[in-house]
């Protein structure tokens, strides 16, 4: 029967979502179409995980509001939802840990369903570091997968010195898998070709070509709002009402964290000064 041999996939998107835009939502739809078009996957759920305040990115407004906007944006979706676990952690959490957390959650849900095969598969995925690397396309019909969903700028950020730990990239890309949406100005295929590390994991990176390029970014939205310009139809109406009600995104809010080092880079500063 069609569908029974397909691997279930849960997509997880991590980011600031400051604020969430229509393009963040489109990413999920594009990724689902792409994965399901292969005939190998059935995408069952999408999770948006806004980063916590500890990330210290310039202009980042409080996590509770970013979570609320993502909640409003996904109210009408029957498969995408927001998860606040990451945003509630007192410190910034590395993405590999966020992925691990959601994978554990997924597996415990599957185990509760008494799905013995799934549990066996989960243990195997946990134990065998090279599992996906060695059997990327042969074994994936056996159980659910959690894949990290991102735009090509995130893939590009893997190459920024001291931004990501190499072992975290290996874990995310090699063990779980990455779905990367093209974004104007970034060329993920070229990046994978040029990076020895990413080339090793090319089979677990799904590049989704967005032909109808859409350059909406949260930065663009915040800039327009600061200038009193309309952002209607770039964000869901409910999100726009929330932004207006709360009077978010002013020149003042953009100064937040302006003099603070981004949390991932703080690790490097701390290590080099000790």
Ligand X SMILES: O=C(O)c1ccc[n+]([C@@H]2O[C@H](COP(=O)([O-])O)[C@@H](O)[C@H]2O)c1
Residues forming the site for ligand X (CB under 6 A)? 14-16, 51, 55, 57, 94-96, 154, 163-165, 168, 264
Among 78, 215, 245, 252, binds ligand ATP (CB under 6 A): 215
Considering the rule CB under 6 A, would residue 216 count as an interface residue with ligand ATP? yes
94 binds, among ligand X, ligand ATP, none (CB under 5 to 8 A by kind): ligand X
**Cα(114)–Cα(248) distance, rounded to whole angstroms?**
46
Of ligand ATP, ligand X, none, which one sits near residue 144, judging by CB under 5 to 8 A according to partner kind? none
- Residue 20 makes CB contacts below 8 A (sequence gap 6+) with 48, 66, 69, 70, 73, 218, 235, 236, 239
- Of 22, 81, 135, 217, which one interacts with ligand ATP (CB under 6 A)? 217
Contacts of 219 (CB under 8 A, 6+ apart): none
Q: Classify residue 159 as exposed, middle or buried by CB count within 10 Å of its CB (0-12, 13-18, 19+).
A: middle
Plot region of 228 (φ>0 → left; ψ -120 to 50 → alpha; else → beta): left
Q: How far is the CB of 163 from ligand X (least distance, A)?
A: 5
Query: Which is closer to ligand X, CB of 233 or CB of 268?
Result: 268
Among 8, 24, 32, 102, contact with ligand ATP (rule: CB under 6 A): 24
- What is the rounded CA–CA span in Å between residue 182 and residue 205? 12
> Binding to ligand ATP (CB under 6 A): which residues in 162-201?
181, 183
Does 82 sit near ligand ATP (CB under 6 A)? no
Q: Please, what is the Cα angle at 181 between 66 and 86, to 5 degrees?
A: 30
Nearer to ligand X, 103 or 164 (CB): 164
Out of 18, 74, 84, 118, the only residue in the binding site for ligand ATP (CB under 6 A) is: 18
C-alpha span between 229 and 223 (Å, rounded):
9
Cα dihedral 262, 153, 16, 44, rounded to 10, equals -140
CB of 46 to ligand ATP, least distance (A): 12
Residues making contact with ligand ATP (CB under 6 A): 13, 15-18, 23-24, 27, 150-151, 153-154, 181, 183, 214-219
């Amino acid at each position: 029967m069609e569908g029974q041999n397909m691997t279930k996939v849960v997509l997880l998107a991590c980011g600031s979502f400051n604020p969430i835009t229509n393009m963040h939502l489109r990413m999920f739809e594009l990724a689902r179409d792409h994965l399901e078009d292969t005939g190998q996957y059935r995408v069952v759920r999408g999770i948006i995980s806004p980063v916590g305040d500890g990330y210290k990115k310039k202009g980042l407004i409080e996590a509770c509001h970013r979570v609320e906007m993502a909640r409003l944006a996904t109210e009408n979706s029957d498969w995408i939802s927001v998860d606040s676990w990451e945003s509630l952690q007192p410190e910034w959490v590395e993405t590999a840990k966020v992925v691990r957390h959601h994978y554990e959650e997924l597996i415990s849900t599957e185990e509760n369903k008494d799905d013995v095969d799934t549990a066996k598969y989960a243990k195997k995925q946990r134990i065998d570091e090279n599992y996906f690397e060695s059997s990327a396309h042969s074994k994936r019909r056996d159980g659910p997968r959690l894949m990290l969903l991102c735009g090509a700028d995130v893939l590009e950020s893997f190459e920024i010195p001291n931004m990501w730990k190499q072992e975290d990239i290996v874990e995310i890309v090699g063990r779980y898998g990455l779905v990367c949406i093209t974004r104007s100005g970034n060329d993920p295929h070229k990046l994978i070709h040029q990076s020895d590390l990413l080339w090793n994991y090319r089979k677990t990176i799904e590049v989704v070509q967005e032909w109808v390029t859409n350059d909406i970014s949260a930065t663009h939205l915040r800039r327009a709002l600061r200038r009193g310009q309309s952002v209607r139809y770039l964000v869901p109406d409910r999100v726009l009402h929330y932004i207006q009600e709360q009077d978010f995104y002013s020149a003042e809010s953009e100064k937040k964290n302006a003099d603070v080092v981004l949390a991932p880079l703080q690790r490097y500063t701390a290590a080099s000064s000790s």
